[in-house]
Amino acid sequence: MYPRRKTQMTKPGATLVVRTAVMADAPSVAAIGRVAFPAVHNDVVGPEFAAVVVEQTYSIEALTECIARCTAAIDAEFLVAEQDGDVIGYLHYDSEGPEPELHRIYVDPGRKRGGVGSALMRELHARLPPGRQYILFVAEANTDAQAFYQRHGLVVERKVEGGGHLAIGIKVDVPPPAPAFLMRYPASTT
């Protein structure tokens, strides 16, 4: 098991702990995801599609299953960031698809830009085997997220047209047209 890493935050006396999620964290993750996902994606994919994603991936049942899968897998991580006993951010990474992928990282909107996302990324990178690459998809319109990922060593590999990348694992008839970038960590040297 990995130890908890503590990071001193800008708020005096507040310590951030990044740890492996447990199934009991699902309600806290759901509460963040139900607010953070639409806040980021409503303008990109539309509120209707964002609501479908939230309904299907941020139910307590769906999150409990995801956390359990990540816990059982040797090549997956579901991390939470906790401060003063409250979960304030999370990260989901796994190798279930064709390539290892960072699927989601969100922080309580009231705690953004306080180092929580960076602490989650540092912990993920510390847990990855040496040389491990992974991908993620980020909306072309989400320039703040692109800059965040670039600060953590990811590079844009290519543009992805359409919204098919958004519908992976989602039951939806037609995904929204949401161009994105496929980003890779670390940058390929070939």
Q: If DSSP states are collapsed to H, E and C, what string results for 70-125?
A: HHHCCCCEEEEEEECCEEEEEEEEECCCCCCEEEEEEECHHHCCCCHHHHHHHHHH
Rounded to an integer, what distance in angstroms lies between the CA atom of residue 136 and that of residue 84? 30
Q: Record the tokens describing residue 154, joined without a space.
A: 């990811």
Tell me what percent of the residues of the chain surpass a pLDDT of 70.
Answer: 83
Q: What is the pLDDT of residues 119-130, one digit of tens each?
A: 999 999 999 999
pLDDT band at 19 (very low <50, low <70, confident <90, very high): very high
Domains and CATH numbers, the chain: 5-185 (3.40.630.30)
Q: What is the pLDDT of residues 81-115, one digit of tens each?
A: 999 999 999 999 999 888 999 999 999 998 887 89
Predicted pLDDT of residue 9? 41
CB 58 within 8 A of CB 30: yes
Give the predicted TM-score (pTM) of the model: 0.86
